Amino acid sequence: MILAPHIAAHVFNVPLMVEPGKLQAALIGLGARLVEGGIQLPGVVAVDHIAFAGGRPSDSMGRIGNPLGRSYEKAGVGDYLLDRVDGIGVIPIEGTLVHKGKFVGQSSGETSYEGLQAQITRATADPSIKGVVFEVDSFGGEVAGAFETAKMIAALSDEKPTLAILTDFAMSAGYLMASAARQIVMPETGGAGSIGVVTIHTDMSRALENDGVKVTLLSSGAHKVDGHPFGPLADDVRASIQARLDRSRELFAGAVGAFRGKRLTKDAALATEAQTYFGSDAVAAGLVDGIIDPSRAFAEFHRKVN
């Protein structure tokens, strides 16, 4: 039995840009909240705070017209949308990245694209902001909202100096965000990559049968209940989901190629096959531009911009 369908809707049968190891760990931690009896994945240790740690995706104010940012401006606290150090705006991109959430910054291990967009809009419009540092430490999250947010970072990068400082990881959707900055740096222990997309399907039929429960689905439309969790995944549905994942990966690699240019082309991004790279290997692969201590990276950026 699905115990929290509102959370499950953000986890199962939807494309996610997230590093697979962290996704597995999140499923273990969330299993008992999502499915009666929990989810068992052999050899995976629970990391309870990786995704949706608050027990539910955060509420939203909606995205059209930047209502979150406008609410700050209307209250006269627009300056609080982002931290600033001597004309440098600092925008953290940390934890699990979720589509909507009426908060700015990290909350219960999540950062919302909605909040990031409000911060980016403010940083773009504010003449006192001379440059922006994105502090990235994320293993990824939802596809929905990711590309729009990355494009906003890229547009900001066209207008003002930007730098993504990894502290220490930018995986999957986290890397998509970082790739839109003018430059990416990280410490020796940092990692980047996982340029791919994943979807989870859960077959609960055996568990339901053991509990004496039989589910009958009544629907109109041949594909209305595609991917339902009450039986095995049909071959044609599997093929449809795979095609959707492949399209999303093409978009992902294309966006990275557009942002990184010759440093990491679309073809090179696809050729990584969603591999993760660490330290100097990430530099050699073109995913990051240099290895440097984060504090020193910020100091050098501050000096150049000011």
> What is the structure's pLDDT at 45?
31
Grouping H, G, I as helix, E, B as strand and the rest as coil, residue 71 is: helix
- Cβ of 137: how many Cβ atoms within 10 Å? 21
Active-site residue, selected from the candidate residues 58, 112, 172, 179: 172
Kindly report the length of the chain: 306
Residue 91 has pLDDT above 80, yes or no: yes
Provide mean pLDDT across the span 241-247. Answer: 94
Active site residue 172: yes
DSSP 5-66: HHHHTTTBSS-EEE-HHHHHHHHHHHHHHHBTT----TT----TTSS-TTSSPPP---STT-
Residue 171 has pLDDT above 70, yes or no: yes
Tell me how many domains the chain contains: 1
Q: pLDDT tens digits for 36-57?
A: 555 444 433 332 222 223 333 3
> What is the structure's pLDDT at 200?
86
Strand pairing class (290-291; 183-186): parallel
**106: its two tokens:** 């990290």
pTM score above 0.85: no
> What is the structure's pLDDT at 52?
29
The CATH number linked to 12 is: 3.90.226.10
> Which residues lie closer than 8 Å to 131 by C-beta, 6 or more apart?
87, 88, 89, 160, 161, 162, 163, 301, 305
CA distances from 71 to 34, 90, 119 (A): 33, 20, 12
Provide mean pLDDT across the span 286-299. Answer: 97
The β-bridge partners of 278 are 191
| H runs (alpha helix) in 58-137 | 67-74, 113-125
> What is the structure's pLDDT at 18?
78
**53: its two tokens:** 């740690």
* φ, ψ for residue 278, nearest 5 deg: -130, 145
> What is the structure's pLDDT at 82?
85
Residue 35 has pLDDT above 60, yes or no: no
**146: its two tokens:** 């990711």
Residue with tokens 């596809």: 143
CA Rg, the chain, in Å? 20
> Which residues lie closer than 8 Å to 19 by C-beta, 6 or more apart?
139, 140, 171, 172, 194, 276
- Cβ of 115: how many Cβ atoms within 10 Å? 28
Q: Are 17 and 176 in contact (CB under 8 A)?
A: yes
Provide mean pLDDT across the span 178-207. Answer: 95
Q: pLDDT tens digits for 111-167?
A: 999 989 999 999 999 999 999 999 999 999 999 999 999 999 999 999 999 999 999
Secondary structure percentages of the chain, helix, strand, coil, to 5? 40, 20, 40
> What is the structure's pLDDT at 124?
96
Range of the domain at 242: 5-305
- Cβ of 59: how many Cβ atoms within 10 Å? 9
Provide mean pLDDT across the span 241-264. Answer: 96
Residue 238 has pLDDT above 50, yes or no: yes
